[in-house]
Amino acid sequence: MTRLILSLASAMALGLGCWMWLQPGPRPRGADLLLTASVSVALGLGLASTTFFLWAIVLRWSPGLLLGIEVTLAVLLVLGGVWAARGRWTDRPREERRSFLDGLLTLGFLLAVGLAAYGFLCRSVREPHGLWDAWAIWNLRARFLFRGGEYWRDGLSPLLSWSHPDYPLLVPGVVARGWTFAGGETTAVPIAVDFLFTFATAGILAAAVWGLRGRTQGMLAGLTLLGTPFFVAHGAAQYAEIPIACYLLASLALLHRADQASQGVGGTYALAGLLVGMAAWTKNEGLLFLAVLLVAHVVSVLRRADRSREWGRLVAFGAGMLPMLLLVTAFKVFLAPPTDLVAGQSLETVIARLADPSRYLQVATAFAKELLDRGKWNILPVVLPFYGLLLGVQARGGTAPGREPDGAGSRQRLATTWGALALMAAGLFVVFLLTPRDLAWHLRTTVDRVFLELWPSMLLATFLTIAPPDSDGTASESEAKIRIPRAG
C-alpha cells in the first residue's frame, strides 16, 4: 500500500510541477489552492499514465528508473515555478467578503464531499473490480499492459472487438502503472485512481466557479455536482467517463481562468490544450471534443477585435495539445483496430440513416427521457433552469481576489463554452443517428454515460452564467431580460 501511495503521490507531484512551471504565480490560496490541487491530480495522472505507457510498455525500459525521473522532474519543475514567480510568491490576495450563506454552503459542500466519499468507498468495497465495462474493457486492457510484457499489443487484437480495443489507453495505462509500482495486481489501484478523478472533478468545478464568481457560487456548483447520484455512483464503477469528464471540465475551466488572468496566460492556454489532449487519450469522445473546441475557439477568435493576441493564445493551446494529439494519432494509425462505429459503414447506409426521421425522434426522445431520470440526475436538470430564471444571468463577475472584472472577452468565452457544449451534444446526437448497432440498445446502454461526460462542464457553464446568490442583483436583473450570455 505504501508503494501505491508513493506512486500516486509521485504522479500528482509531476502534475503540480507541470502546473507551476507553465503558470508561475503567487502562492495559491483559497480557490487557486483548490484548483491547483485538483488540476494537478488530473494532470499528474494523465502525465504519469502517458510517460509510463511510452517508457515502460512501448520502449520496455525500467519502470523503477521512470519513477526516479518523475520525482526529480517534479521537484525541478516546482522549484522552477517558484523561481519564476520569485518576488510574487509571498503576495497576499485581497480578503474575500464572507457571509452567512457562504459559510453554510461551504459546510454543505464539505458534508457532501464526506457523504459522497463514504458512498464511493461502500460501492468500491462491494464491487472492487467495478461494473461490467470496467472489467470487460478498461481493467482488462490494463491486465494486458501489465501481464502481457512484450506482447502487450495482444490486448489490441481484433479478436477482442467486443472489448473495444480501439479505445485509447490513458485509464488502463495509469492502472497498469499503479500495479507495476505496487508490485502486483490489486483492486486498490483502479479504486484509488477513480476516487482521485471523481473528487478532483468536484474540486475543479468548485474552485473554478469560486475563482470566477466567488466562494458562495463555487460551493453551490460543487455541491450540485456531488448531489448528482449518477456522478458519484459511476465514479466508483471504474469506467472512463469520469476521467474524460474531468479533463473536459479542467480544460474549459482553465480557458475561463486565462481570460481573467493578467499574467501567464500563454502557459494556461498550453495547459488547457494539454488537458484536452488527455481527454482524447482517455476516450474517443475526447477527439470529438478536441475538434469541437478548436472550431469554437477559431470562430471566437475571428469574432474578436484583438485577433493577433488571440491567435497567439490559440497557438499556445495547440502547442499544449500537440504531444497528446501525436500520441493518439500514432495509436489510431499504427496500433488500434478501426473504431466499430466507423468500420464497415458505407455511404448508402449513412445517408439512409440520416434520412430516417424515426431515428431522430428515437434519439431525441432518449435524450429527453434521460434528463428526467431522477435516480441518476436527482431533479437537477429540471431545477437548474428555474434556479437560473430566479436569480438571473451574471453580468459582472470579478468577485474573486486577483481577478479582473468580467469584460467582453469573458462573456465571449462563456458563449464559446456554451457553443462548444452544444456542438458536442449535437455531435453525439449524430453518432447515435449513424450507429451501426441496434439503436434502441445503443441508446439504452450509452446515453446516460455520454451525458455524464458533459455534465460537470455543463454545470461550469451554468454556474458561470447564473448570477451568484450573494450578488446585489442590480446587474443580474438588467441582464435577466436578455437571458442569454452576451457575446462581444
Partner 1 sequence: MAADHVTRARYGAGLLALIALFGVSRVICRTGPEAPPTLDAQVQSYTDRYAALRGLLPPRGTVGYLSEGPGAPASENQAPDETEAYQARWFMLSQYALAPVIVVRDPSRSLVICNVQNPTRVPQVCQRPGLVLVRDLGNGIALLRRAQE
- Interface with partner 1 (CB under 8 A), residue from 28, 63, 128, 436: 128
101 vs 341, which CB is nearer to partner 1?
101
Mark 410-449 with x for binding to partner 1 (rule: CB under 8 A) and - for no binding.
----------------------------------------
225 vs 321, which CB is nearer to partner 1?
225
196 vs 276, which CB is nearer to partner 1?
196
Beta bridge partners of 340: none
Applying CB under 8 A, the span of 65-73, 121-129, 395-403, 437-445 interacting with partner 1 comes to: 121-129
Question: Does the protein bind partner 1 through residue 112 (CB under 8 A)?
Answer: yes
Distances (CA, A) of 240 to 128, 163, 193, 202: 16, 13, 11, 16
Beta bridge partners of 466: 393
Applying CB under 8 A, the span of 277-285, 317-325, 326-334, 462-470 interacting with partner 1 comes to: 462-470
Mark 315-344 with x for binding to partner 1 (rule: CB under 8 A) and - for no binding.
------------------------------
Reference 176, options 201, 156, 196, 193; nearest CA is 193
**Interacting residues with partner 1 between 231 and 260 (CB under 8 A):** 232-233, 236
- Interface with partner 1 (CB under 8 A), residue from 2, 94, 162, 308: 162
Question: Does the protein bind partner 1 through residue 110 (CB under 8 A)?
Answer: no
- Interface with partner 1 (CB under 8 A), residue from 16, 73, 116, 395: 116
Question: Does the protein bind partner 1 through residue 127 (CB under 8 A)?
Answer: yes
Question: Does the protein bind partner 1 through residue 108 (CB under 8 A)?
Answer: yes
Question: Does the protein bind partner 1 through residue 57 (CB under 8 A)?
Answer: no
CA dist 247 and 277 (Å) reads 9
CA dist 47 and 18 (Å) reads 9
- Interface with partner 1 (CB under 8 A), residue from 58, 69, 76, 104: 104
Mark 194-233 with x for binding to partner 1 (rule: CB under 8 A) and - for no binding.
----------------------x---x--xx-xxxx--xx
Reference 460, options 224, 195, 199, 110; nearest CA is 224
Minimum distance from CB of 368 to partner 1 (Å)?
20
The site for partner 1, by CB under 8 A, has a size of 69
Minimum distance from CB of 468 to partner 1 (Å)?
8
Question: Does the protein bind partner 1 through residue 73 (CB under 8 A)?
Answer: no
Block residue for cell numbers 462563456: 414
**Interacting residues with partner 1 between 352 and 391 (CB under 8 A):** 375, 378-380, 383-384, 387, 390-391
Question: Does the protein bind partner 1 through residue 167 (CB under 8 A)?
Answer: no
Question: Does the protein bind partner 1 through residue 96 (CB under 8 A)?
Answer: no
345 vs 446, which CB is nearer to partner 1?
446
Asked if residue 214 lies in contact with residue 106, where contact means CB atoms within 8 angstroms, the answer is no
Question: Does the protein bind partner 1 through residue 471 (CB under 8 A)?
Answer: yes
Reference 326, options 318, 337, 314; nearest CA is 318
CA dist 341 and 275 (Å) reads 25
230 vs 289, which CB is nearer to partner 1?
230
Question: Does the protein bind partner 1 through residue 59 (CB under 8 A)?
Answer: no
Applying CB under 8 A, the span of 124-132, 284-292, 304-312, 411-419 interacting with partner 1 comes to: 124-132
Residues near partner 1 (CB under 8 A): 101, 104-105, 108, 111-112, 115-116, 118-120, 122-123, 126-132, 135-136, 139-140, 143-144, 147-149, 151-152, 154-155, 157, 159-160, 162-163, 216, 220, 223-224, 226-229, 232-233, 236, 375, 378-380, 383-384, 387, 390-392, 467-474, 476-477
